[in-house]
Structure 1
Amino acid sequence: MQPSAGPALPHTRARSVHWITTAAVIAAVIGSAALVQPAGASTGRPAADAKAAEPAPAAVAPPDPDAAHFPLECAGAPVDVVDRASADLDGDGRPETVAVARCHSETGTPPSGLYVLSADPAAGADPRIVETLVDPKEQRSFKGLRIDGRTVRATVLGYSTDDVPRCCPDQQRDYSWEWRSGTYYEIPGPLANGV
């Protein structure tokens, strides 16, 4: 190894002054980067003149089917809401209620209708029917009404002939109704052999 010619260069010997100066420069760069922020950035602390945060909007209550008027001809008998389920079916941010309603009867199984109810945003407005999924004229009844996500599901009970007593439906089929392109699409399942 040959000896180096000439005196040692200043940057080859680290002195404490060199390290202190380097640390001070790095700290200054980091500190100034923390103070400079892009437009619209937040420091995480409210500004002195910022308005108080507005409270989150209250959850919208689903329509109450007991307050709705159903298009049933009950000859003076009251209307019974025998099942209900609620969810935001059409994605507008407000829940709808799906209700099974029929005329009250002490005997037999009167035909039921399956309705979708919506509530008018105006406070105190009665729920209104926005869709009839199954009309009572079809002589059907229902069991197992539920909503999966935005799909309405129920088992629809019916009669194979007019001779079958109205108390005892002898046919059943699972149905789904899905909201698509502004309307509800009915999707029937396979027909079961009997109830």
Structure 2
Amino acid sequence: MQTSAVTDLAHTHARPVHWLATATAMAGVVALAGIIQPGPAGATAAPPTPRPAPDAATAHYPLQCGGAPSTIAQKATGDLDGDGNPETVAVVHCEAGSGTPPSGIYVLTHGKGAGAPAARVVATLVEPAQQKNVTGFAIRDGVVRATLLGYSSPDVPSCCPDQSEQVTWRWRGGTFVRTAQDEARAV
């Protein structure tokens, strides 16, 4: 007598209900795949790379130094107008053999056109004629900050300013708006 190695198991026989359950599950998977789809393929442009900040050493400053050279005492960079490209702000004064020459504060951007300097002055925040010296100079969050040292009278020696004022400049409406942090006070 021969016995078959395959036994008659109840779960190996497909019934119509099994086929119906399988078809329903497959229809659900296909429907879900139709709903959950990736977005359309396409190339996305990378954001433009900001230009480097203008080089303060390449600018021509509107200083009257009587033939003496000018010196860039301090400089800082930051995006002041919100265009994504940094500007440079430079504190510049004439070189002097002694004393403390007054400073100018200048905002620089890139030069325009062939043969133009790499950096050009687009705004003057402090004129040297105002007889101010600059300390505490920085750019933070698009705002230029400085401490301006000055003189209460022409009798005060240029080595020893006796007034101090905290000021900021912020780009608004196409111009730099100056705000004094506190009134000028004696040092």
TM range (shorter): 0.7 to 0.9
Distance in 1, matches of 2:20 and 2:165, equals 85
1:120 is displaced (CA, Å) by: 2.6
**Does 2:126 align with 1:134?**
yes
**Does 2:63 align with 1:72?**
yes
SS of 1:154's partner is strand
Matches within 5 A, 1:91-130: 91-120=82-111, 122=113, 125-126=116-117, 127-130=119-122
- Summarize the Cα distance change of 1:56–1:26 in structure 2 as closer, same or farther, 3 Å threshold: same
- Summarize the Cα distance change of 1:188–1:31 in structure 2 as closer, same or farther, 3 Å threshold: closer
Q: Which residue of 2 aligns with 1:17?
A: 19
Paired amino acid for 2:79: D
Report the TM-score when normalising by structure 1.
Answer: 0.78
- Summarize the Cα distance change of 1:188–1:56 in structure 2 as closer, same or farther, 3 Å threshold: closer
Structure 1: state its 5+ residue gaps: 1-13
Aligned residues: 171
Identity of aligned residues (%): 42
Paired amino acid for 1:86: T
Paired amino acid for 1:179: W
- Please give the per-residue CA displacement for 1:95-144, whole angstroms capped at 9, x wherever unaligned: 21111100011311001101111113557742111111110000001001
Q: Which residue of 2 aligns with 1:88?
A: 79
Q: Which residue, out of 157, 181, 185, partners 2:177?
A: 185
**Contact 1:85-1:99 within 8 A present in 2 as well:** yes
Paired amino acid for 2:74: D
Distance in 1, matches of 2:20 and 2:46, equals 55
What root-mean-square deviation, in Å, do the aligned CA atoms of Structure 1 and Structure 2 show? 2.4
- Please give the per-residue CA displacement for 1:124-180, whole angstroms capped at 9, x wherever unaligned: 742111111110000001001111211111000000110000011111010011111
Bigger mean CA offset, 183-192 vs 109-118? 183-192
**Contact 2:50-2:84 within 8 A present in 1 as well:** no
- Please give the per-residue CA displacement for 1:20-53, whole angstroms capped at 9, x wherever unaligned: 1211221222234456x7xxx425xx7xxx7xx7
SS of 2:186's partner is coil
